[in-house]
Amino acid sequence: MKLLILGICLTLTAHLLYASESAYEQGRDLYFQNGCANCHGTNAEGSSYYPKLANKKKKYLTDKLENFKKGIANTQKQEIMFTFAQTLTQKDIMNITSYLTNFKKDNSDKYNVEEDLLGVDY
């Protein structure tokens, strides 16, 4: 009986870990597939013109993306985001913000290969 309970607990834990990992990974794929990296950087680090997104609060990022999706911006500069946010579903926003808020630089990441080859460090 004890083993059975332990087994159930382990299965549940594995399931929870898998679920959160997969949101991060799905978010990373979406971030690159939707071209976010072209402006916000392969490490979501931003530049002098584009804002950094890495490790910002999940609620802040979600609110921004939901507003952009609805066509709401505070400045004209932000309006460029409308096109990019409109193609995202609520689930996409959830996954992308999970990725960005928990962002960890990973040098083994397949998406960093090009950057490494070019020797560019933004």
- Residue 73 CB, nearest approach to ligand HEC (Å): 8
| Tokens, residue 69 | 């999706």
Alpha helices in the chain (DSSP H): 2-33, 36-40, 58-70, 81-86, 90-101, 113-118
Measured distance CA(89)–CA(111) in Å, rounded: 23
- Which x/- pattern, by CB under 6 A, does the window 23-42 give for ligand HEC? -----------xxx-xxx--
Decide if 27 contacts 16 (C-beta within 8 A).
no
Q: Is the CB of 28 or the CB of 40 nearer to ligand HEC?
A: 40
- Residue 35 CB, nearest approach to ligand HEC (Å): 5
Decide if 85 contacts 69 (C-beta within 8 A).
yes
Total chain residues near ligand HEC (CB under 6 A): 20
Under the binding rule (CB under 6 A), the answer on residue 84 touching ligand HEC is yes
**Residues at the contact surface with ligand HEC, assessed by CB under 6 A:** 34-36, 38-40, 50-51, 53, 61, 64-65, 75, 77-78, 80-81, 84, 88, 96
